[in-house]
Chain A
Amino acid sequence: GIQVEQSPPDLILQEGANSTLRCNFSDSVNNLQWFHQNPWGQLINLFYIPSGTKQNGRLSATTVATERYSLLYISSSQTTDSGVYFCAVEPRDSGYALNFGKGTSLLVTP
């Protein structure tokens, strides 16, 4: 099956710093999404981004499908950004179901 690798696995930032999270995938995909999982377990859909670039406030994401990677940028980080960020892909040949990476655990300190 498709492999989804996220880096770094853990990240500690001081409030106000910027960061880049990376997601590499091993095969062609129909869909790629970035999620933020809050302390209560809720998965918040940040971006639906099978290709191209999108921005939403302090967050932006870029997917280069031909090179099989995606990047999530967090600017001016806040303590509320803490949590686990997951990249998930829908393989092109499966048609359904997202396959998740292992996530990046982010802690933003005051």
Chain B
Amino acid sequence: GAVVSQHPSWVICKSGTSVKIECRSLDFQATTMFWYRQFPKQSLMLMATSNEGSKATYEQGVEKDKFLINHASLTLSTLTVTSAHPEDSSFYICSARDAKTGGLNYGYTFGSGTRLTVV
């Protein structure tokens, strides 16, 4: 149980274009999902908290106009990197936990990540 699916696994895009990344909870409902960013050989840094049916909460220093988050249902959150530039190249990972159990026994589950390269 507690599976999170993330797509695509990797994407290469041209500078100036937008890229959408999907995060789905497959066997549970998640009122809240989280988006992280990881640079090579570094830890995961929280970018934003995605709230179902309301606006996302962004961490300090994260541009909300560049990283658009939509949490339209209890099983889907999307992250859109708008007008991507080479410095946006990174590994993006989403996370969620079961809203019913509060993550009891499993805690948070992570997607497989998306490796974005902007050329």
A66 at the interface (CB under 8 A from B): no
Q: Kindly specify which of B68-76, B79-87, B102-110 makes contact with the partner chain.
A: B102-110
Are B91 and A41 within 8 A (Cβ)? Answer: yes
Residues of A within 8 A of B13 (CB): none
Are A33 and B107 within 8 A (Cβ)? Answer: yes
Assuming the A-B contacts A96-B32, A101-B43, are A41 and B107 also in contact, with contact meaning beta carbons closer than 8 angstroms in the complex? Answer: no
Interface class of chain A by DSSP: strand
Give the size range of B's interface with the partner. Answer: 20 to 34
Residues of B within 8 A of A48 (CB): 103, 105-107
> How many residues on chain A are close to B (CB under 8 Å)?
20
Residues of B within 8 A of A101 (CB): 43
- Name which residue of chain A comes closest to B106, CB basis: A48
Residues of B within 8 A of A102 (CB): 42-43
